[in-house]
Amino acid sequence: MNPSSHMRTSEQNVAFLEAKIDRLTNQLSKVENDRIVSLQREVSILRQLLDLQNVKLDKVTSLLTDLVTQMMSRRGKLPGEDEVLELRAQGETSEADDDDESVLRSIRAFQESVNVSDLQRHGIQQQINHHVNHLQTQPHMAHQISMQRRQHLLNQTTASDHLGRALDNNMDPELHHVSTVVPNDRHDISSRQVQPQQQPQQQPQQRQARRQQEAGDEMPIKQKTRGKKRKRGGVSEEINSILSEEPVSSKKDQSTDQKSDGKVHIEFIHNPTTVREIYDEFFKGFKGQGPLCEMDEKYGKLNWRGDSRSKESKRYQRRKRLCDAIKRGSYKYNKTDDEMIEYLENFRKEKSLTWVMNGHIPDDLKE
């Protein structure tokens, strides 16, 4: 090889290395610039957070100062500015100082710019103004409420009187003397209600009078519809027969409620995925509610799953079919339940668990 060619190759290698070095330096500078920019952003974010925290601390200290000064002003232990400065300069506290004074000194040392006397006067003045406004508006509101109640009661009494007169005109002559007693009593009750309207302690009596009034309005209507079907008899017998009908319906409602409350709610596993889950639910229980195989004996079939058409009964039958197959196989082949569970898992492979529970089990495990 010629010396000139050797020099050329060496120069080319040097130029190539210099180009590589330049690229590396450029990449390093870019990386450093990116890091510096990201660090600057993080520093600016941290500064903003610090400023926000400082603002929050200032607000908290001002609120605490206002609270402590108000508490101490109520107790009559508010110290002056000179006393606080002297105690701060000495750096020690006496045993006679209470907790409120120590808290006040620490807060004032933390934030000296708060004027305690101004905050105290401002807070007390606001409380006084609020209390005075409340006292001024309270009698006016009470008067308005009493007037509204009185007007509402008068409207109800007039409407009930019109309704009573209309019913009297359309009533059978035989039951007319019964309806005449009710409006008189209703009129006496309404006259007694209008007078003591301004006394709050008589509101329960007004509610009772309204219920009696509604019962008196409904009684002539019921008597009119049933008067044509009954034989003529005493008025007391008819009223007793009307009143005796309501407890019967209430007893029926109570009996139906007791029957509905007697149903035991059992929760099943939603969307089971393995045969092991079905086995544990049937023989061990789910969420501490006992095994499913003992529910019929414990509560009775109809009390917890109903008849064979109910959703709970169908779920129970599918689980029982699968678990019976497991027990049948373990007894037939002298295997454990775990081995039979694994056998069924291998049998269904990619099939869903619902497919197996619906009766698609091996022929040797069927009944």
How many residues would you count in the chain?
367
Query: According to the model, what pLDDT value does residue 230 have?
Result: 47
Confidence grade of residue 301 (pLDDT, cut at 50, 70, 90) = confident
Tell me, what's the pLDDT at 275? 92
pLDDT the model gives residue 182 = 47
What pLDDT is stored for residue 330 in this prediction?
92
Cα R_g (the chain), whole angstroms: 46
For residue 150, the model assigns a pLDDT of 72
Q: Is the pLDDT of residue 362 over 60?
A: yes
Q: Kindly state the average pLDDT of the residues 350-361.
A: 88
Higher pLDDT, 72 or 135: 72
The pLDDT of residue 8 is: 78
Q: Give the residue-averaged pLDDT of 282-294.
A: 89
Mean pLDDT score, 27-33? 87
Q: Going by C-beta distance under 8 Å and a sequence separation of 6 or more, which residues neighbour residue 38?
A: none
Selection from 339, 356, 200, 173 nearest residue 274 by Cα? 356
Token match 């373990």: residue? Answer: 330
- Minimum mean pLDDT range among 132-141, 276-285, 314-323: 132-141
| CA proximity to 354, closest of 296, 280, 277 | 277
Most confident of 67-71, 189-193, 198-202, 343-347: 343-347
**pLDDT higher for 259 or 289?**
289
pLDDT tens digits, residue range 152-163?
Answer: 667 665 555 555
pLDDT score of 194: 41
What pLDDT is recorded for position 341?
Answer: 92
Higher-confidence position of 364 and 259: 364
Least confident range from 87-101, 103-117, 295-309: namely: 87-101
The token pair that represents 294 in the structure block: 């003992």
- pLDDT of 77: 54
Lowest mean pLDDT among 19-33, 120-134, 207-221: 120-134
Give the mean pLDDT of 95-116.
56
Sign of CA dihedral 48, 50, 54, 56: positive
**pLDDT cut 70: percent of the chain above it:** 50
Stretch among 66-75, 246-255, 314-323, 337-346 having the lowest mean pLDDT: 246-255
Token pair belonging to 304? 């917890």
Determine the residue type at 296. D
Per-residue pLDDT band for 130 (boundaries 50, 70, 90) equals low
pLDDT at residue 367 tops 50: yes
Task: Give the three-class secondary structure for 266.
Answer: coil
d(CA 308, CA 291): 19
- Mean residue pLDDT across the chain: 70
Task: Kindly report, residue by residue over 213-250, the tens digit of the pLDDT.
Answer: 655 555 544 454 455 444 444 444 554 554 444 444 44
Query: Would you state the pLDDT for residue 235?
Result: 44
259 C-beta neighbours (distance < 10 Å), count: 9
Q: What is the pLDDT of residue 323?
A: 93
Reported as a pLDDT band with limits 50, 70 and 90, residue 57 is very high
Rounded CA gap, 117 and 139, in Å?
Answer: 35
Calpha distance 324→347 (Å, rounded): 16
Question: Residue 46 contacts by C-beta under 8 Å, 6 or more apart in sequence?
Answer: none
Q: How many other C-beta atoms lie within 10 A of the C-beta of residue 292? A: 23
Nearest to 185 by CA among 164, 201, 203: 164
CA distances from 161 to 186, 200, 213, 223 (A): 9, 26, 10, 19
Question: If pLDDT is split at 50, 70 and 90, which confidence band does 55 have?
Answer: very high
* Rounded Cα–Cα distance for residues 213 and 190 (Å): 9
φ/ψ region of 94 (left if φ > 0, alpha if ψ in -120 to 50, else beta) reads beta
Q: What is the pLDDT of residue 21?
A: 93
How far is Cα 141 from Cα 187, in angstroms, rounded to an integer?
A: 30
Within 13 Å of residue 10, how many CA atoms lie on the same side as its CB? 7
pLDDT for the residue numbered 250: 42
Q: What is the DSSP string of 325-357?
A: HHHHHHHHHT--HHHHHHHHHHHHTTS-HHHHH
- Range of weakest confidence among 99-113, 259-273, 348-362: 99-113
